[in-house]
Amino acid sequence: MYQFEGKPADRIEAYQLLLAQAQALLEGETDFIANCANISSLLNLFVEKINWVGFYLNKNNELVLGPFQGNPACVRIPFDRGVCGKAASTKTVQRIDNVHLFPGHIACDSASNSELVIPLIKDGNVIGVLDIDSPVFSRFDSTDITWLSKIAELLTQSVTD
Protein backbone atom coordinates (compact mmCIF):
# COMPACT_ATOMS: atom_id res chain seq x y z
CA MET A 1 0.00 0.00 0.00
CA TYR A 2 1.13 3.63 0.47
CA GLN A 3 1.13 4.25 -3.28
CA PHE A 4 0.50 7.59 -4.98
CA GLU A 5 0.50 7.87 -8.74
CA GLY A 6 2.52 4.67 -9.06
CA LYS A 7 5.28 5.86 -6.71
CA PRO A 8 5.81 4.62 -3.18
CA ALA A 9 4.93 7.31 -0.64
CA ASP A 10 6.20 7.71 2.84
CA ARG A 11 3.85 6.75 5.63
CA ILE A 12 3.35 10.31 6.88
CA GLU A 13 2.18 11.46 3.44
CA ALA A 14 -0.11 8.44 3.22
CA TYR A 15 -1.60 9.11 6.65
CA GLN A 16 -2.10 12.80 5.78
CA LEU A 17 -4.14 11.71 2.77
CA LEU A 18 -6.10 9.25 4.92
CA LEU A 19 -6.86 11.98 7.46
CA ALA A 20 -8.15 14.25 4.68
CA GLN A 21 -10.35 11.43 3.37
CA ALA A 22 -11.71 10.82 6.86
CA GLN A 23 -12.50 14.53 7.26
CA ALA A 24 -14.38 14.49 3.95
CA LEU A 25 -16.41 11.44 4.98
CA LEU A 26 -17.34 12.94 8.35
CA GLU A 27 -18.08 16.46 7.15
CA GLY A 28 -21.65 17.44 7.91
CA GLU A 29 -22.66 14.01 9.26
CA THR A 30 -23.42 13.67 12.97
CA ASP A 31 -24.75 10.10 13.10
CA PHE A 32 -22.21 8.15 15.13
CA ILE A 33 -23.06 4.71 13.70
CA ALA A 34 -22.91 5.94 10.11
CA ASN A 35 -19.59 7.66 10.75
CA CYS A 36 -18.14 4.56 12.45
CA ALA A 37 -19.24 2.47 9.47
CA ASN A 38 -17.53 4.76 6.97
CA ILE A 39 -14.34 5.09 9.02
CA SER A 40 -14.05 1.31 9.51
CA SER A 41 -14.43 0.83 5.76
CA LEU A 42 -11.87 3.54 4.99
CA LEU A 43 -9.34 2.08 7.43
CA ASN A 44 -9.91 -1.42 6.07
CA LEU A 45 -9.07 -0.17 2.58
CA PHE A 46 -6.05 1.84 3.69
CA VAL A 47 -4.26 0.11 6.56
CA GLU A 48 -2.21 -2.81 5.35
CA LYS A 49 -1.52 -6.09 7.13
CA ILE A 50 -4.68 -6.09 9.22
CA ASN A 51 -7.43 -8.70 9.51
CA TRP A 52 -10.06 -6.77 11.49
CA VAL A 53 -10.94 -3.13 12.08
CA GLY A 54 -13.95 -1.70 13.78
CA PHE A 55 -15.62 -0.19 16.77
CA TYR A 56 -16.96 -1.28 20.12
CA LEU A 57 -19.43 1.20 21.58
CA ASN A 58 -20.01 1.95 25.25
CA LYS A 59 -23.45 0.78 26.35
CA ASN A 60 -23.83 1.09 30.14
CA ASN A 61 -20.10 0.57 30.80
CA GLU A 62 -19.88 -2.46 28.55
CA LEU A 63 -18.39 -2.47 25.06
CA VAL A 64 -20.86 -3.67 22.43
CA LEU A 65 -19.87 -4.52 18.87
CA GLY A 66 -20.42 -1.68 16.42
CA PRO A 67 -19.59 -1.21 12.75
CA PHE A 68 -16.59 -3.24 11.59
CA GLN A 69 -14.79 -4.89 8.68
CA GLY A 70 -13.60 -8.47 9.03
CA ASN A 71 -14.71 -11.81 10.42
CA PRO A 72 -17.56 -12.02 12.91
CA ALA A 73 -16.43 -10.79 16.31
CA CYS A 74 -17.17 -10.94 20.02
CA VAL A 75 -20.35 -9.01 20.71
CA ARG A 76 -19.86 -7.81 24.30
CA ILE A 77 -16.68 -6.97 26.18
CA PRO A 78 -16.69 -5.88 29.84
CA PHE A 79 -14.55 -2.85 30.68
CA ASP A 80 -12.30 -5.07 32.80
CA ARG A 81 -11.53 -7.69 30.11
CA GLY A 82 -9.19 -7.88 27.14
CA VAL A 83 -7.31 -5.20 25.27
CA CYS A 84 -10.46 -3.25 24.38
CA GLY A 85 -11.66 -3.32 27.98
CA LYS A 86 -8.31 -2.08 29.23
CA ALA A 87 -8.31 0.80 26.71
CA ALA A 88 -11.83 1.76 27.78
CA SER A 89 -11.26 1.46 31.53
CA THR A 90 -7.93 3.32 31.52
CA LYS A 91 -8.78 5.77 28.71
CA THR A 92 -5.38 4.99 27.16
CA VAL A 93 -4.20 3.66 23.82
CA GLN A 94 -3.24 0.00 23.96
CA ARG A 95 -0.61 -1.26 21.51
CA ILE A 96 -0.05 -4.96 21.98
CA ASP A 97 2.79 -6.52 19.97
CA ASN A 98 1.81 -10.10 20.88
CA VAL A 99 -1.79 -10.58 22.00
CA HIS A 100 -1.05 -14.14 23.13
CA LEU A 101 1.05 -12.70 25.97
CA PHE A 102 -1.62 -10.19 27.08
CA PRO A 103 -3.32 -11.37 30.30
CA GLY A 104 -7.03 -11.83 29.68
CA HIS A 105 -6.82 -11.38 25.90
CA ILE A 106 -10.13 -12.21 24.24
CA ALA A 107 -9.38 -14.24 21.11
CA CYS A 108 -12.19 -13.57 18.67
CA ASP A 109 -9.96 -14.51 15.71
CA SER A 110 -7.09 -16.95 16.23
CA ALA A 111 -5.27 -15.36 13.25
CA SER A 112 -4.76 -12.10 15.19
CA ASN A 113 -1.29 -11.66 16.67
CA SER A 114 -1.08 -7.94 17.44
CA GLU A 115 -3.64 -5.29 18.28
CA LEU A 116 -4.08 -1.54 18.53
CA VAL A 117 -7.01 -0.10 20.50
CA ILE A 118 -7.71 3.63 20.71
CA PRO A 119 -10.36 4.88 23.14
CA LEU A 120 -12.95 7.30 21.79
CA ILE A 121 -13.39 9.99 24.44
CA LYS A 122 -16.07 12.69 24.31
CA ASP A 123 -16.40 15.23 27.14
CA GLY A 124 -14.20 13.03 29.34
CA ASN A 125 -16.34 9.94 28.80
CA VAL A 126 -15.45 6.82 26.83
CA ILE A 127 -18.04 6.45 24.07
CA GLY A 128 -16.29 3.49 22.46
CA VAL A 129 -13.01 2.18 21.12
CA LEU A 130 -11.40 1.79 17.72
CA ASP A 131 -9.98 -1.74 17.53
CA ILE A 132 -7.53 -2.90 14.86
CA ASP A 133 -6.13 -6.44 14.72
CA SER A 134 -3.28 -7.81 12.63
CA PRO A 135 -1.96 -11.29 11.86
CA VAL A 136 1.55 -9.76 12.00
CA PHE A 137 3.36 -9.61 15.34
CA SER A 138 4.43 -6.05 16.34
CA ARG A 139 2.45 -4.61 13.41
CA PHE A 140 1.70 -1.21 14.95
CA ASP A 141 4.16 1.58 15.80
CA SER A 142 4.13 5.17 17.02
CA THR A 143 3.31 6.51 13.54
CA ASP A 144 0.17 4.37 13.44
CA ILE A 145 -0.80 5.49 16.93
CA THR A 146 -0.32 9.18 16.12
CA TRP A 147 -2.33 9.22 12.91
CA LEU A 148 -5.04 6.74 13.87
CA SER A 149 -5.55 8.71 17.10
CA LYS A 150 -6.14 11.83 14.98
CA ILE A 151 -8.80 9.97 13.01
CA ALA A 152 -10.40 8.73 16.25
CA GLU A 153 -10.46 12.33 17.52
CA LEU A 154 -12.14 13.51 14.31
CA LEU A 155 -14.77 10.83 14.75
CA THR A 156 -15.51 11.80 18.35
CA GLN A 157 -15.80 15.45 17.32
CA SER A 158 -18.48 14.47 14.80
CA VAL A 159 -20.75 13.17 17.58
CA THR A 160 -23.29 15.77 18.66
CA ASP A 161 -25.37 13.89 21.22
HSE-CB at 141 with a 13 A cutoff on CA atoms is 5
Query: What pLDDT does residue 10 have?
Result: 85
**C-beta neighbour count of 72 within 10 angstroms:** 10
Residue 55's pLDDT band, with cuts at 50, 70 and 90, is: very high
**Average pLDDT of span 23-35:** 96
Task: Convert the pLDDT of each residue in 118-159 to its tens digit.
Answer: 999 999 999 999 999 999 999 999 999 999 999 999 999 998
Amino acid at 101: L
Is the pLDDT reported for residue 1 higher than 70?
no
Query: What pLDDT does residue 103 have?
Result: 85
Per the model's pLDDT, the better-predicted residue between 116 and 109 turns out to be 116
Q: Which CATH number fits domain 3-158: 3.50.50.60, 2.60.40.1120, 3.30.450.40, 3.40.50.360?
A: 3.30.450.40
Query: What pLDDT does residue 161 have?
Result: 65
Query: What pLDDT does residue 2 have?
Result: 44
Q: What is the mean pLDDT of the chain?
A: 92
Phi, psi dihedrals of residue 94, rounded to the nearest 5°: -120, 115
Task: Convert the pLDDT of each residue in 110-119 to its tens digit.
Answer: 789 999 999 9
Query: What pLDDT does residue 9 have?
Result: 66
